[in-house]
Amino acid sequence: MFKYIRKKIGYLALKDKNNSQSNISSKADNDAPVLPDLQSNLKTIQGILCSSDVIIHQFTFGRDRKFRGALIYIDSMVNKDEIHKSILKPLMYDSLMLSDNKNLDFSDMATIQRDLISISDNIRTTLLNDVVDSVLTGAAILLVNSSKEALIINSRKWESRGIEEPQTESVVRGPREGFTENINVGLALIRRKIKDPDLCIENFKIGDRSKTQVSIVYLKNVANQKLIDEISIRLKRIKIDAILESGYIEQFIEDAPYSIFSTVSNSEKPDKVAAKILEGCAAILVDGTPFALVAPMLFLSGFQSSEDYYSRPFFTSFIRTIRFLSFIISILAPATYVALTVFHQELIPTQLLISIAAGREKVPFPAVLEAFLMLIIFDILREAGLRLPRPIGQTVSIVGAIVLGQAAVEAGLISPIMVIVVATTAIASFVVPPQADAGTILRYLYLILAGVGGGFGIIMGLLITLLHLSSLRSFGTPYLWPIAPVNFSSLKDVFIRMPLWKLLTRPKAIIWSDDASYRQSPDLRPSPEQKKR
């Protein structure tokens, strides 16, 4: 015990020392200015950016070629045609044809920015730290001898895939476009859905080494400002080497890190994210991933699909009921089977009980171990199907399930009823993808409780789960709203989906205010008796 405490104290002391040294070094780098001597600046930058793909192009320009300049960029991250056409050509050739060239001071970066550079997206800076960061994000940097400023020119060019239909959220009716890894494409897709001047975007750079762009998107007069402030605070406190996917952000900003239930949702569909923004939520987009985060998240929103609002309410309500039923089957079917066959045989009809007993006659394992092994094999097959190349993965999943299941039954290792139960569980688990992760863990937990305590164990597990869900919050919003606490006006879009003209208000638990609660006119019910204009 004392050895552990001593190691912990030593680790914290070393961490504080490293942080202080890092802060001193970072402060020194941030304070380093751009010097009027071009060669000194280039020498400093070459010492920092020592990679072979960093291009430093030195040239002379102006009448009599008396001005010296340098262009710095990373070879694979810029648009070379744009650099030649909009930067080098105006400086090296067009400047010779200016009639009043003698009166222009090209050592003044403001003059170059105003009179020569044709790319509008450019800013001046006096810090070398900004120069290095901009080069690493794909910008081109112009340095001129005798100038204490550098010009950061946005000439980025990224290779990225086109807009495609998301594989994780397929729909029959609705938009087929999905986010890409380019965050600018994602922001443009949201702008295309919401053409409102109140749509706000706040940008952050997170990751000491990756410097990943992270953007918060929300409607200014709809989203609660406390929610936006809280998200900003949680993002700013992230200190990490790199952010490679939005899952990094999710794990750093969620409310309940030790819960199996996620309190931050994600989506690849711009229409779904836009709908959440219109409800008062905030979207978090991360450069380099097609998955956008949405906060706050409600547990019941995982059973909703964007397609629910594109179809008529009757079929949609039926499908939503199927989703709830499928989720219950996916987490309780194996546990219920074990509880009935081991503890509560009197609840099973006689003919069915005889069939189950005949099927289990040669099975050497107890029912709980049999179910546990079958679920493990199913998860192994599912993981193999996901990780292998798609044609091979599908073959392995189908052939593996059929061959293994049939062989296990014929060998007397597994009962036929158990194969049916596990297959039904597997199919039902794919109906509600947002709850698949939590459902997988709950399935095993309830199975263990059923093996130990039968129906009583399952009931205690359900009670603990409900208490846990009731205690969760997602950025201040109750996780089980509008069931706990109950809000009758919002139950119109939970278990069933009322017609769109009935859904007058936004979720009050998200916007926390009545000022922006209404999202449509109250007199939109269709009627053949409407007056003609």
Angle at 169 between CA 404 and CA 403, to 5 degrees: 5
Give the DSSP letter of residue 32: P
Which tokens go with 419? Answer: 């194969």
What pLDDT does residue 403 have?
73
Instruction: Tell me the chain's radius of gyration from C-alpha atoms.
Output: 31
SS3 of 150, please?
strand
The model's confidence at residue 229, banded by pLDDT at 50, 70 and 90, is very high
Angle between helical axes of 183-193 and 270-279 (0-180°, round to 10) = 60
The yes-or-no verdict on residue 58 having pLDDT over 70 is yes
Q: Tell me the per-residue pLDDT of 201-220, one tens digit each, with 9 for 90 and over.
A: 999 999 988 889 999 999 99
> Please, what is the average pLDDT of the chain?
85
What pLDDT does residue 533 have?
47
How many other CB atoms are found less than 10 A from the CB of residue 280? 25
Cβ neighbours of residue 57 closer than 8 Å, sequence gap 6 or more = 70, 71, 72, 88
What pLDDT does residue 212 have?
92
Q: The tokens 């919050």 sit on which residue?
A: 473
Q: Tell me the per-residue pLDDT of 249-292, one tens digit each, with 9 for 90 and over.
A: 999 999 999 999 999 999 999 999 999 999 999 999 999 999 99
Q: Tell me the per-residue pLDDT of 429-477, one tens digit each, with 9 for 90 and over.
A: 999 989 999 999 999 999 999 999 999 999 999 999 999 999 999 999 9
What pLDDT does residue 26 have?
42
User: Dihedrals φ, ψ of 188, to 5°?
Assistant: -65, -40
Mean pLDDT for the stretch of residues 230-242: 94
> Using CA atoms, how far apart are residues 285 and 245, in angstroms rounded to an integer?
10
What pLDDT does residue 11 have?
46
Q: Which long-range contacts (CB under 8 A, 24 or more apart) does 421-425 make?
A: 421/333, 421/334, 421/337, 421/371, 422/334, 422/371, 422/374, 422/375, 422/378, 424/329, 424/333, 425/329, 425/330, 425/333, 425/334, 425/375, 425/378
Consecutive H or E run containing 267: strand 265-267
The yes-or-no verdict on residue 327 having pLDDT over 90 is yes
What pLDDT does residue 360 have?
82
Low-confidence winner among 116-130, 190-204, 447-461 (lowest mean pLDDT): 116-130
Residues of the chain with pLDDT > 90, as a percent, come to 44
Q: Tell me the per-residue pLDDT of 59-105, one tens digit each, with 9 for 90 and over.
A: 888 777 788 899 999 988 888 888 888 888 888 887 666 655 456 67
The model's confidence at residue 352, banded by pLDDT at 50, 70 and 90, is confident
The yes-or-no verdict on residue 512 having pLDDT over 50 is yes
What pLDDT does residue 25 have?
41
Low-confidence winner among 109-113, 240-244, 283-287, 460-464 (lowest mean pLDDT): 109-113
Instruction: Tell me the domain boundaries of the chain.
Output: 1-31, 32-153, 183-297, 319-474
What pLDDT does residue 213 have?
93
What pLDDT does residue 28 have?
38
Higher-confidence position of 115 and 202: 202
Consecutive H or E run containing 57: strand 54-61
| CB-CB contact of 56 with 66 (8 Å) | no
Q: Which long-range contacts (CB under 8 A, 24 or more apart) does 415-420 make?
A: 415/356, 415/359, 415/360, 415/363, 415/370, 416/359, 417/337, 417/355, 417/356, 417/359, 417/360, 418/337, 418/359, 418/367, 418/370, 418/371, 418/374, 419/374
Length of the chain (residues): 533
Tell me which amino acid residue 269 is: K
DSSP lists the bridge partners of residue 67 as 61
The model's confidence at residue 232, banded by pLDDT at 50, 70 and 90, is very high
How many other CB atoms are found less than 10 A from the CB of residue 513? 14
Residues of the chain with pLDDT > 70, as a percent, come to 88
